[in-house]
Amino acid sequence: MILYEYPLHERIRTYLRLEHLFLRLQQLVTRVDALDHHFALVTLFEIMDVAARADLKTDLLKDLDKQKHLLEAYRGNPAIAESVLDQVIADIEQCYTALNNQQGKSGQPLTENDWLMSIRSRISIPGGTCEFDLPSYYAWQHKSGAIRQADLLQWIGTLTALSAAVQLLLKLLRDSGTPQKVMANGGQFQQNLPQGRTFLLLRVALDVAQGLIPEISGNRLMVSVRLMQLGEDQRPHLVNDDLSFELALCS
């Protein structure tokens, strides 16, 4: 199955982008090739660009606090395992404290590193990090993989609180949705959303063997999915068959 996720709120869109970047960074750091570490830095700077949003830290703290209060209401419920509930609340409190104790924006200490910022200013320029432009960076790339990994892990450490908060909030959000089988008649599916409830994330799971590509759109009132297939002209075309797929709405 291929899982596609579509954010129904701008805040969740930002969280998903950060998660995507952190997963890529995690994979690149584990490798030892200088080229992989170059793109690890590219990803690190992308995370800094997203984290530079003035309201990001505030949104994360508000969401963590809201989740904590929602879960606290389940105390004493016989259908809830108290030990599991206590652990989740403890995880939320830990993420909240780590993020709240961080001075300024996430990754702000990196902006005070002149060497890193010199690379950041040129890394988006095609060929801007050649050895004649940044000889010190070229020398760093020739250090051992272990040394480069240690440097990267130190720099990434300034973003650990941000990563943990995003990961936890998205996990809680995803766990709130129950997958259900739905039918796309003539390749198209549309569903009105119930009033009085705010959904934040739509998840669509498709069978890999079917070779389908979903075109998803949605807002607070309605969601729609069009199932497409890549034609011989290398363009997506609407599937005319009736097909089933899994859909989950998360709030």
What pLDDT, in 10s, does the model give residues 71-124?
888 887 787 888 888 899 999 999 999 999 988 888 888 999 999 999 999 999
Angle in degrees, 0-180, between the axes of helices 114-123 and 34-51, rounded to the nearest 10? 90
| pLDDT > 90? residue 188 | yes
pTM score: 0.93
Here the contacts of 1-4 (C-beta below 8 Å, separation 24 or greater) are 1/205, 1/206, 1/207, 1/208, 1/246, 2/205, 2/206, 2/208, 3/203, 3/204, 3/205, 4/203, 4/204, 4/205, 4/206, 4/214, 4/216
Q: Which of 46-60, 74-88, 98-112, 211-225 has the lowest mean pLDDT?
A: 74-88
- CA 164/CA 159 separation, integer angstroms: 9
Share of the chain above pLDDT 90, in %: 78
The pLDDT value recorded for residue 185 is 93
